[in-house]
Amino acid sequence: MSKLRLFPKGEVLSSIIWMLFLLIPILSLVPFDTFEKMFLGALMLLFCWFYRNALFQGRYFIYWLMGQYLIAAFYALELGYIYLFMFPAWQLGFGFSKIKKSSFWLLFFGQLGIILLGLFFGPMEHPVFGGNQLAMSLPFGLFTIIAPLPGREVQKSIEQRKQLYQANQRLEAVIKGEERNRIARELHDSLGQSLSVMTLKLDLAQKILTKNPQMVSNELQEIEQLSRSTLKTVREIVSDMRKRTIREELIEINQALTTAKIILTTENEELANDLSAMQQNEISNVLREAVTNIIRHSKATFCTIVFSIDADWLKLSIKDNGVGVKELIAGNGITGMTERIEKIQGTLYIQEDRGTWIRISVPLEEALND
């Protein structure tokens, strides 16, 4: 049994705020001392119900939307009150992906026509409803008419971000799969051959143990050497597995910052490919520590990571809009970050600039070889 929700998950606060705006036309009818006011009040309650159902953008979305438009049209043509059109207008823009393109434009131009009729006839026929209502309604009517268009663009942007996130998730899965395949190939090529040779030699040693002890001793010595060589190979493979590229680290950094509700932007991250494996591994660790500090201490909402090249140096900037660094303390991983950068002959500076700004400079591999 599905759980009943008053409003869509993640949109409760915004939905309540929009619903509170509907109190304006309801309160304007108080006291409900005539049949007309009671009828209009009932229509407003029905409008609220249609609006709430349309928020979920389900299979009947277009019908809930049309119900709102019908009630809004009645208010507009009978009272010249176009305020209600604001609600379905925004929903039309945000829910364009749930309806046909032809239905979108049909509702858009239908809304346009009814609002214009409401502006023309309503204030003239019912001046008591607001007196200067026409002057007040013109800018509001213009805003409501164009509302579905920016709403549609915002929704497109949201959908594109969702698609980008899903693409990043798939890319991360592909990267992990390729890494597993690489490790499997290395284990097969390096360890498989060594273990096969060791098995054959042990089998031979077992067969000639009583007949030729000296030969067995030689075989065991070779097996020992091969075993040590294999152990060294395993350690090299494990060491390579622990190394991380900057791009791999940025994937996890983005996930961590998103969880902490911090927006991350990066520029020119492809320039990190010019660094050696060791440099990328050390900078990845520094990036991880810097972002951890941002999440724990900065109270930031934005973080920017920018890569650039100046002569033979790669420059890295990590900046947030948090509380800044009032007093630098050689804790919070700062000492470790500095040591890692110095290990690859780079420099690290931390300063306050409307937040915390970390600047890293690392010589490119070509410069080190010169």
Q: Please list, residue by residue across 41-70, b when 16 or more beta carbons sit within 10 angstroms of its beta carbon and e when fewer do.
A: eebbeebbebbbbbbbbeeebbebbbbbbe
Q: Are residues 34 and 59 in the same domain?
A: yes
Asked whether residue 122 carries a pLDDT value surpassing 80, the answer given is no
Which of 225, 224, 208 has the alpha carbon at shortest distance from 216?
A: 208
Dihedral-angle region of residue 27 (phi above 0 means left; psi in -120 to 50 means alpha; beta otherwise): alpha
Predicted pLDDT at 128: 42
Q: Are residues 206 and 307 in the same domain?
A: no
Asked whether residue 1 carries a pLDDT value surpassing 50, the answer given is no
Which of 288, 61, 258 has the alpha carbon at shortest distance from 162?
A: 258
Predicted pLDDT at 190: 66
Q: Are residues 264 and 237 in the same domain?
A: no
Which has more confidence, 118 or 111? 111
Asked whether residue 188 carries a pLDDT value surpassing 50, the answer given is yes
CATH of residue 200's domain is 1.20.5.1930
Alpha-carbon distances, residue 234 vs 137, 194, 210, 284, 345 (angstroms): 76, 11, 34, 23, 29
327 contacts 313 by C-beta, under 8 angstroms:
no
Q: Is residue 344 in some structural domain? A: yes
For the segment 262-279, the average pLDDT, to the nearest whole number, is 85
Q: Are residues 180 and 282 in the same domain?
A: no
What is the chain's mean pLDDT, rounded? 78
Structural domain ending residue among the three candidates 193, 218, 242: 242
Structural domain ending residue among the three candidates 242, 272, 298: 242
Q: Are residues 222 and 291 in the same domain?
A: no
Q: Is residue 154 in some structural domain? A: no
Q: With helix as H, strand as E and coil as C, how does 137-204 read?
A: HHHHHHHHHHCHHHHHHHHHHHHHHHHHHHHHHHHHHHHHHHHHHHHHHHHHHHHHHHHHHHHHHHHH
Strand, coil or helix: 331: coil
Which has more confidence, 281 or 95? 281
Which has more confidence, 254 or 169? 254
Q: Are residues 133 and 45 in the same domain?
A: yes
Q: Are residues 130 and 199 in the same domain?
A: no
Structural domain ending residue among the three candidates 146, 176, 205: 146
With cut-offs at 50, 70 and 90, classify the pLDDT of residue 316.
very high
Within 10 angstroms of residue 170's Cβ, the number of other Cβ atoms is 10
Q: Is residue 338 in some structural domain? A: yes
Q: Please list, residue by residue across 235-253, b when 16 or more beta carbons sit within 10 angstroms of its beta carbon and e when fewer do.
A: eeeeeeeeebbbbbbbbeb
Asked whether residue 367 carries a pLDDT value surpassing 50, the answer given is no
For the segment 120-139, the average pLDDT, to the nearest whole number, is 57
For the segment 114-122, the average pLDDT, to the nearest whole number, is 71
Asked whether residue 132 carries a pLDDT value surpassing 60, the answer given is no
Model pTM? 0.48
Beta bridge partners of 349: 359
Q: Is residue 4 in some structural domain? A: no
Q: Are residues 111 and 132 in the same domain?
A: yes
Predicted pLDDT at 361: 92
CATH of residue 342's domain is 3.30.565.10
Q: Are residues 197 and 286 in the same domain?
A: no
For the segment 181-201, the average pLDDT, to the nearest whole number, is 70
Within 10 angstroms of residue 283's Cβ, the number of other Cβ atoms is 25
Q: Which residue type sits at 364?
A: L
Predicted pLDDT at 369: 53
Predicted pLDDT at 125: 54
Write the pLDDT tens digit of every residue in 141-163. Answer: 777 778 778 777 777 777 777 77
Report CA torsion sign: 31, 33, 35, 38: positive
Q: Are residues 287 and 362 in the same domain?
A: yes
Q: Is residue 359 in some structural domain? A: yes
Which has more confidence, 336 or 191? 336
Q: Which of 18-22, 146-150, 270-274, 339-343 has the highest mean pLDDT?
A: 339-343
CA terminus-to-terminus distance, the chain: 70
Q: How large a percentage of the chain has pLDDT more than 90?
A: 5
Predicted pLDDT at 242: 54
As to burial, measured by CB atoms within 10 angstroms (0-12 exposed, 13-18 middle, 19+ buried), residue 351 is: exposed
Q: How large a percentage of the chain has pLDDT more than 70?
A: 81
Beta bridge partners of 305: 266, 318
> What is residue 298's DSSP assignment?
I
Q: Is residue 152 in some structural domain? A: no
Predicted pLDDT at 126: 53
Report how many domains make up the chain. Answer: 3
User: Cα(317)–Cα(267) distance, rounded to whole angstroms?
Assistant: 10
Write the pLDDT tens digit of every residue in 68-80. Answer: 888 888 887 777 6
Q: Is residue 159 in some structural domain? A: no
Q: Are residues 255 and 364 in the same domain?
A: yes
With cut-offs at 50, 70 and 90, classify the pLDDT of residue 317.
very high
Predicted pLDDT at 214: 74
Q: Is residue 157 in some structural domain? A: no
Domain range for 350: 246-369
Least confident span in 20-24, 44-48, 199-203, 360-364 = 199-203
Q: Are residues 365 and 284 in the same domain?
A: yes
